[in-house]
């Protein structure tokens, strides 16, 4: 009898299609375009429909639809049953694989993104610089790894954010791929030593440690400070470090010079085309009394199955061995292509459903602005659309929406709520905004401590404790008052 953990593992394991959809949901539209172009290069059964061909096919579809309206529909043709007298088609080899079921009718199996006339599309005049995923995937495929390790590596790489940090836990990766956590950790460690070193780290401390470990010669004191005194290091408590490690301040100064040469954001530089300008994935605009949602995916390649290549492979086999190999190759690539095309379509529908639910829940924000944002958590949207919280999290991570009040990351709309003295529930987003305003307006010679800020908020009917102010301040990466004092 299976124990509880084994049962849970089986329930949580995702199919390859679900894993693919999960990875596509996390990608912003620009990165989706890059991934699809890499998939097209790797899978010869995927074909891009160019704009001219798409327009021609759409015109033909419209003409056929008009003709069908004018004519009575013909009687359905019934194929006669095969008889013993009919000659069978010559086959190189028969086996027990239902080839027709695998191949299916691929003639119309394609994905086309709907036309998006709200975004002007410019033809790219020169080749794009290498992106971070491309740079890492090239290195990954040069390693001596088995197929499962390559799959893990690709999944990890597509979950590294623009700063170069891993955006999901190894436990979640292991759960989604149905593989041991130890194997995911092993592949991640290899990726972390790719160029740029420190990529795929889970936090700043790990990022700096990886870079220090790879330096030749090693600076042992710098390594020791980052490893054992990281909290004191980030808060500039150098005397405390000196006392703890029994070293002089001059030695700390030398180690600090080494540490400050490290790169805290190893992913920077590979997204140069996007660093200075956020490209919205969606737009929400007024349409009378309602709102219209536009998903900007018109640049996503329009894909279909390449039947010509499939037929060439199957027909040109010269013997049974080649025929078997061709069938196996086509089967795998065709399965992969179908999953990809379906996943792109599902991604589109899922993102639109999530955005629609956000607009409904935060209607006052979209009508009146930031001060009207309401407390809302991922579970609220997940319950509204009948999806998992993890799915909503993937959709909202790293994607941006253009509104009449500005461009916002979808994560912006999610925040916990606190009760005000008036009994109303206030978004912690609003409280953070007010803390930021108070600190911005403070006297730089006499910065306010957390308790003073909490007292100001209390007078404004925000019932917030000092420790809550400290937590929000740290989340906004604002240092403590003594470090904000102007010297």
Averaged over 8-15, what is the pLDDT? 51
For residue 442, being part of any structural domain is answered with yes
For residue 285, being part of any structural domain is answered with no
pLDDT band at 306 (very low <50, low <70, confident <90, very high): confident
For residue 459, being part of any structural domain is answered with yes
Q: Domain tally for the chain?
A: 1
The per-residue pLDDT for 4 is 44
Say if pTM beats, i.e. exceeds, 0.75.
no
397: helix, strand or coil:
coil
Which is more confidently placed, 367 or 6?
367
Minimum mean pLDDT among 68-72, 132-136, 317-321, 330-334: which range? 68-72
Alpha-carbon gap, residue 200 to 165, rounded angstroms: 5
Contacts of the segment 355-364: beta carbons below 8 A, 24+ positions apart? 355/282, 355/284, 355/293, 355/295, 355/401, 355/410, 356/293, 357/381, 357/384, 357/385, 358/410, 358/413, 359/284, 359/291, 359/293, 360/384, 361/413, 362/413, 363/291
For residue 274, being part of any structural domain is answered with no
For residue 239, being part of any structural domain is answered with no
Averaged over 72-99, what is the pLDDT? 38
Minimum mean pLDDT among 66-75, 213-222, 331-340: which range? 66-75
Averaged over 249-259, what is the pLDDT? 90
The per-residue pLDDT for 124 is 32
Cα Rg of the chain (Å, integer)? 28
Q: Look-up: residue for tokens 């420190």?
A: 198
Report the CATH number that the domain containing residue 427 is assigned in CATH.
Answer: 1.10.10.60
Averaged over 371-392, what is the pLDDT? 88
For residue 479, being part of any structural domain is answered with yes
What range defines the domain where residue 430 resides?
417-484
Minimum mean pLDDT among 26-35, 222-231, 315-324, 442-451: which range? 315-324
Minimum mean pLDDT among 202-216, 302-316, 467-481: which range? 302-316
The per-residue pLDDT for 63 is 55
Strands (E), 68-149: 110-111
Condensed to tens digits (0 to 9), the pLDDT of residues 23-33 reads 888 888 888 88
463 torsion bin: left (phi>0), alpha (psi -120 to 50), beta (else): beta
**Separation of first and last alpha carbons in the chain:** 68
255's enclosing H/E stretch is helix 249-259
Q: Look-up: residue for tokens 């130890």?
A: 182
pLDDT band at 334 (very low <50, low <70, confident <90, very high): confident
Other C-beta atoms closer than 10 Å to the C-beta of 86 total 9
Residue 139 and residue 156 in contact, taking contact as beta carbons nearer than 8 Å: no
Averaged over 176-190, what is the pLDDT? 91
Task: Provide the CB-side half-sphere exposure for 425 (13 A, CA).
Answer: 7
Averaged over 315-333, what is the pLDDT? 78
Q: How far is CA 391 from CA 30, 204, 363, in A?
A: 20, 27, 22
For residue 478, being part of any structural domain is answered with yes
425: helix, strand or coil:
strand
Residue 448 and residue 438 in contact, taking contact as beta carbons nearer than 8 Å: yes
CA 173 to chain centre: 13
For residue 446, being part of any structural domain is answered with yes
Condensed to tens digits (0 to 9), the pLDDT of residues 47-67 reads 888 766 655 555 555 555 455
What mean pLDDT is reported for the chain? 79
Averaged over 34-59, what is the pLDDT? 76
């Amino acid at each position: 009898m299976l124990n509880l953990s084994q049962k849970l593992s089986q329930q949580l394991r995702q199919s390859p299609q679900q894993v693919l959809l999960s990875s596509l949901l996390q990608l912003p539209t620009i990165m989706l375009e890059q991934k699809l172009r890499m998939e097209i290069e790797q899978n010869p059964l995927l074909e891009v429909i160019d704009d001219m061909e798409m327009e021609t096919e759409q015109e033909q579809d419209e003409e056929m639809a008009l003709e069908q309206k004018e004519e009575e529909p013909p009687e359905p043709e019934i194929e006669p049953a095969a008889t013993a007298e009919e000659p069978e088609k010559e086959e190189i080899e028969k086996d027990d694989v239902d080839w027709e079921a695998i191949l299916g009718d691929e003639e119309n199996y394609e994905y086309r993104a709907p036309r998006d006339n709200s975004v002007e599309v410019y033809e790219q005049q020169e080749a794009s610089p290498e992106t971070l995923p491309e740079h890492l995937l090239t290195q990954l495929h040069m390693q001596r790894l088995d197929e499962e390790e390559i799959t893990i590596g690709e999944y990890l790489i597509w979950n590294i954010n623009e700063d170069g940090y891993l955006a999901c836990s190894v436990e979640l990766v292991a759960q989604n791929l149905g593989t041991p956590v130890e194997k995911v950790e092993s592949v991640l460690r290899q990726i972390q030593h790719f160029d740029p070193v420190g990529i795929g780290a889970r936090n700043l401390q790990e990022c700096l440690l990886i870079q220090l470990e790879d330096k030749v010669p090693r600076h042992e004191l710098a390594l020791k400070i980052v490893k054992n005194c990281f909290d004191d290091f980030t808060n500039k408590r150098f005397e405390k470090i000196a006392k703890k490690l029994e070293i002089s301040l001059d030695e700390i100064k030398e180690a600090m010079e080494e540490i400050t040469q490290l790169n805290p954001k190893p992913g920077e530089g590979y997204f140069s085309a996007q660093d200075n300008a956020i490209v919205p994935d969606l737009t929400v605009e007024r349409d009378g009394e309602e709102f219209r949602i536009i998903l900007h995916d018109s640049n996503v390649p329009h894909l279909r199955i390449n039947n010509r290549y499939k037929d060439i492979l199957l027909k040109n086999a010269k013997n049974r061995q080649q025929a078997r190999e061709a069938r196996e190759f086509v089967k795998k690539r065709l399965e992969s292509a179908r999953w990809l095309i379906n996943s792109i379509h599902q991604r589109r529908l899922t993102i639109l459903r999530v955005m629609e639910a956000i607009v409904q829940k935060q209607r006052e924000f979209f009508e009146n602005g930031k001060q009207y944002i309401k407390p809302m958590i991922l579970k609220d949207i997940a319950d509204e659309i009948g999806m998992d919280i993890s799915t909503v999290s993937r959709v909202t991570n790293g994607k941006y929406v253009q509104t009449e009040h500005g461009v916002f990351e979808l994560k912006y709309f999610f925040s916990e709520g606190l009760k005000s003295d008036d009994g109303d529930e206030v978004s912690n987003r609003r409280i953070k905004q007010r803390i930021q305003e108070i600190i911005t307006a403070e006297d730089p010679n006499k910065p306010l401590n957390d308790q003073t800020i909490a007292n100001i908020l209390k007078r404004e009917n925000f019932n917030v404790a000092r420790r809550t102010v400290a937590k929000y301040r740290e989340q906004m990466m604002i240092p403590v008052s003594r470090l904000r004092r102007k010297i």
